[in-house]
Amino acid sequence: MTQRKLLITGGAGFIGSNFVHTILESYEDIQVIVLDKLTYAGNLRNLAKWKDEKRFHFIKADIANKEELSLALNGIDFNEIVHFAAESHVDRSITGPEEFVKTNVLGTFYMLEIGRNLHEKGKLNVFLHVSTDEVFGSLGADGAFTESTSYAPNSPYSASKAGSDHLVRSYFHTYGMPVITTNCSNNYGPFHFPEKLIPLMILNCLQGKQLPVYGKGENIRDWLYVKDHCLAIDLAIHKGKFGETYNIGTRNEKNNLEIVELICNLMDLRHPQGAPHKKLITFVTDRPGHDFRYAIDPSKIEKELGWTPKYSFEQAIEETVDWYMNNKEWWSEILSGSYQSYYEQQYKGIG
């Protein structure tokens, strides 16, 4: 068998960097090449553990810039692609959708063209595209998304991801490229950028800042531990069928208020000087077009690939809170950088 040489786009972001850790820790004989633009969400600190490792290489490039991308990959040898790179925050897609179209649609198209070039030379083993359950739109009180649920994206973020999923699908049907798409639910865990609900609430508790809950906090998300997600992607690379899509989730629905209250309870034990943290909960104006509920039916990946999660929610959320408690240097650097002005703009009027 030829040596595995894995190109990981977006590998300096939240899920991508967790995936790099999973892969380098699981396989000794593998080369990992991370390609990342290092936007506000990309952080080389996430990968610091591997900086002197011979099996690890980093390339800074923008997937939405065709010339830059092909120049950056010129002479680089790889035979598998896992594509994470994206603009990922719904709130930012509402105020600035253009970057989402550029990176998520055009950038995925350029990555597919890189893949097609390799495929035509017989050198591409797999192209795995990481997508979201948000492409399916919003659920009411019942039911869950399956792989055959119709696409109905509601935000510029989910619409741009839906566009990228369709392009990936077309490269299987048109060019016979070995593509697989995974659609997962909301992730949480280490290295999660603080703009997202769970890390935002943990860090605001630690700083005695208000906890901004959109609307009444009744919206429901289906929380997936990032380490379980990474193991599922690894399984899909090995056992997944080309041209197929797999939903990834752990049947773990919670409404936002439940999540925030749970974090407050965990923080009361770990940070008693701020207790009770629930006093910081502040209901703020709802997100425009806020999807009510997401829920994944993971039966297909369970039945066809034999996937089961390794972590319980109770264990993983505690691990996550502890990770932020133990990695103050990581988040302090982010909070004191350009994120500060985003935060002030997004949460105007709350302390």
* Signed CA dihedral, 89, 12, 4, 239: sign only: negative
State how far the alpha carbon of 76 is from the alpha carbons of 6, 35, 120, 123, 212, in Å. Answer: 11, 11, 17, 13, 45
Q: Does 59 bind ligand NAD (CB under 6 A)?
A: no
Concerning whether 339 is annotated as a catalytic residue, the answer is no
Where does this chain touch ligand NAD (CB under 6 A) — which range of 80-88, 114-122, 169-177, 328-336?
A: 80-88
Instruction: State the binding partner of 39 from ligand TYD, ligand NAD, none, CB within 5 to 8 A by kind.
Output: ligand NAD
Using alpha carbons only, what angle is made at residue 156 by residues 247 and 140, rounded to the nearest 5 degrees? 55
Q: At what angle do helices 108-120 and 156-175 cross, to 10 degrees?
A: 20
**Per-residue contact string for residues 147-166; x = within reach of ligand NAD by CB under 6 A:** --------------x-----
The CB-of-100 to ligand NAD minimum distance in angstroms stands at: 9
Nearer to ligand TYD, 240 or 298 (CB): 298
The CB-of-28 to ligand NAD minimum distance in angstroms stands at: 25
**Per-residue contact string for residues 43-62; x = within reach of ligand TYD by CB under 6 A:** --------------------
Q: Does 22 bind ligand NAD (CB under 6 A)?
A: no
Which residues, listed in sequence order, are joined to residue 24 by a DSSP beta bridge? none
Phi, psi of 339 (to 5 degrees): -60, -30
Nearer to ligand NAD, 211 or 223 (CB): 223
Concerning whether 302 is annotated as a catalytic residue, the answer is no
Q: Round to whole Å and give the CA distance between 162 and 166.
A: 6
Instruction: State the binding partner of 161 from ligand TYD, ligand NAD, none, CB within 5 to 8 A by kind.
Output: ligand NAD
* Signed CA dihedral, 115, 19, 65, 59: sign only: negative
Q: Comparing C-alpha atoms, which of 33, 47, 15, 25 is closest to residue 330?
A: 47
Residues lying near ligand NAD in the complex (CB under 6 A) are found at 9-10, 12-16, 36-39, 41-42, 62-64, 84-88, 103, 107, 130, 132, 161, 184, 186-187, 193
